[in-house]
Chain A
Amino acid sequence: MLQPEQIQTFADELYHALRHQQMLAPLTERAPDITIEDAYAISSALLQKRIEIDGEKVIGKKIGVTSKAVQNMLGVHQPDFGYLTDAMVVDESEPLSLTTRMIQPRAEGEIAFVLKHDLIGPGVTATDVLRATDFVVPCFEIVDSRVKDWKIKIQDTVADNASCGYFLLGSQAADPRKLDLSTVGMVVELNGQVISTGAGAAALGSSPVSCVVWLANTLGKFGVPLKAGEVILSGSLVPLQPVKAGDYMSVSIGGIGRTAVRFT
């Protein structure tokens, strides 16, 4: 358990690292007794700085650590979440400059939910999520870690806004009520080669819907709703792919659509 000053110091460091494309030693090495609650407090303080200093606006949330492989790697059995702000949006038609904006980027294919009604946990079910969802879209999340060489424990990534970087939404939308989101297939291509495939059930061994259920109920405990209009990234269905300038990646999702991103 950390003191409030320590939480603020870590938030300041992470903010500085983010803005100057620098890497930090893992927080868990410097403060071994840091808890997951501390990490969320740091994440929240980091967000406050982005809002106060840069005028960023929260437009949604992201869910991370949803695959068995990543959960095993981090030794946890639950997902985590971070905040999405308007400054993290990449337009589908523009390249993303890795050199000027990121440190050690990795791309992942996801399904994003756009809500039309608020979701307030606890007690949110899969049915509630389907009712509250306006549509789903294909999404690339370009994650990044301010922690050196991605040597993260769960507390490190949570504090670092769930390793969020940028995200890009495709322009094809689908009604989740007309799809079985647990079986929709995902195909990721890098420079024209298929590099990975997966399906919805890769998310928590269940469905991307279950990830949104988890988020609504987790935030509900703190009285925080998922709001109408918010974008929720439901977590990667395929392994993370390190990317570099010059790479071109596409993600195609069965029954939903396709989007692509070019890195410079």
Chain B
Amino acid sequence: MSTLSRATIAQLAEHLENAELQAFDVTKITDDYPDMDWEDAYDIQWEIRSRKQARGTKVVGLKMGLTSYEKMKQMGVDVPVYAFLADYFNVPDGGTVKTAELIHPKVEAEIAIITSKPLRGPGCTVAHVLAATEAVLPAVEVIDSRYRDFKFDLKSVVADNASSARFVTGGNLKRVDQVDMKTLGVVMEINGQVVATGAGAAVLGHPAASVAMLANMLAERGEEIPAGTFIMTGGITAAVSVKAGDSVCVRYQDLGSISMTFV
């Protein structure tokens, strides 16, 4: 059940996308639309996606957010959120991220997969996901909420494409039977200092559970995960703030490392 008119959704999508493209912060949209629901929030996100595609931007993947039980509890929800990844979000491994194009970026270490078969919910499980995983690879997400001082609620976050901004992937791919995604360790270093460590189970108990949930959430809108989709499964570490001059390196058990510099 949506509560907002098509016109309001289009207007909010433009508002939030401009904030992203021009790197300015805004107040959370639920301040003005306190009654908006989850469907409205995703409608706005999908509208932003359409706006980008209309300009020739390609959608190159999907991502899950809020995938730790602890964060969900803090935010008072029991499901994570999803968002899309646009082509220009991608920064090569070893590349630079321009902070002038962002508001208040944070980095988090993730495990990503690429699917080999379509995944359609409802009823998608970890087993279906593992059977449809072509490769497991390391990824770092740079998130950048467009909301001032990170003051937001979850519906506002969903509308804001779940804070998606940039991402970097590593070139070390593994088959799903070559790694244990649950115990796979990650170590995040900023300027040579370890700032966070974790393992795959921080993501809903298993990163594949996050993908299963994505398929089930998309099914509610009649969508599926097509074969060949790149999916970032959610943050293993807490999101850590970065600034110009920082160099970030994330090391993964069995999946190599990823580095980037913020300028």
Which residues of B are found within 8 Å of A185, using beta-carbon distances? 183-186, 198-201, 253
Interface presence of A261 (CB below 8 A) = no
Q: Contacts A194-B205, A205-B193: A183 and B183 contacting too (C-beta < 8 A)?
A: no
Q: Which of B191-240 contact A (CB under 8 A)?
A: 193-194, 197-202, 205, 236
Residue of B182, B185, B200, B201 touching A183 (CB-CB under 8 A): B185
- Chain B residues contacting A200 (CB-CB under 8 Å) are 185, 187, 197
Q: Out of A68, A184, A189, A194, name the residue touching B253 (CB < 8 Å).
A: A184
Contact of A252 with B187 in the complex, beta carbons under 8 Å: no
Chain A residues, Cβ within 8 Å of B184: 185, 254
Q: Which residues of A contact B253 (CB under 8 A)?
A: 180, 183-185, 199, 254-255
Q: Tell me the dominant secondary structure on chain A's binding face.
A: mixed
How many A-B pairs with Cβ below 8 Å? Answer: 84
Smallest CB–CB gap between B189 and chain A, Å? 8
Contact A197–B194 (Cβ < 8 Å): no
Are B180 and A254 in contact, with the CB atoms below 8 A?
Answer: yes
Binding site for B on A (CB under 8 A): 68, 180, 182-187, 189, 193-194, 197-202, 205-206, 237, 252-255
Q: Which residues of A contact B38 (CB under 8 A)?
A: none
B: interface residue count bin: 20 to 34
Q: How far is the CB of B117 from chain A (nearest CB, A)?
A: 27
* Chain B: CB-nearest residue to A237: B197
Is B185 in contact with A184, judged by CB distance below 8 angstroms? yes
Known contacts A183-B185, A183-B186, A252-B183; decide if A197 and B198 are in contact (CB<8 Å).
Answer: yes
Cβ 8 A contact of A206, one of B69, B186, B194: B194
Chain B: minimal CB distance from A254 (Å): 4
Question: Does B252 lie at the interface of the complex (its beta carbon under 8 Å from any beta carbon of A)?
Answer: yes
Do A205 and B194 touch across chains, with their CB atoms under 8 A apart?
Answer: yes
CA distance A201 to B251 in the complex (A): 10
Task: Jot down 18 A-B pairs with beta carbons below 8 A, ordered by A.
Answer: A182-B187, A184-B253, A185-B199, A185-B201, A185-B253, A193-B69, A194-B69, A197-B197, A199-B187, A199-B198, A200-B197, A206-B194, A252-B183, A253-B183, A254-B183, A254-B199, A254-B253, A255-B254
Contact B199 A187 (CB under 8 A): yes
How far is B64's CA from A120's CA once the two chains are assembled, in angstroms?
49
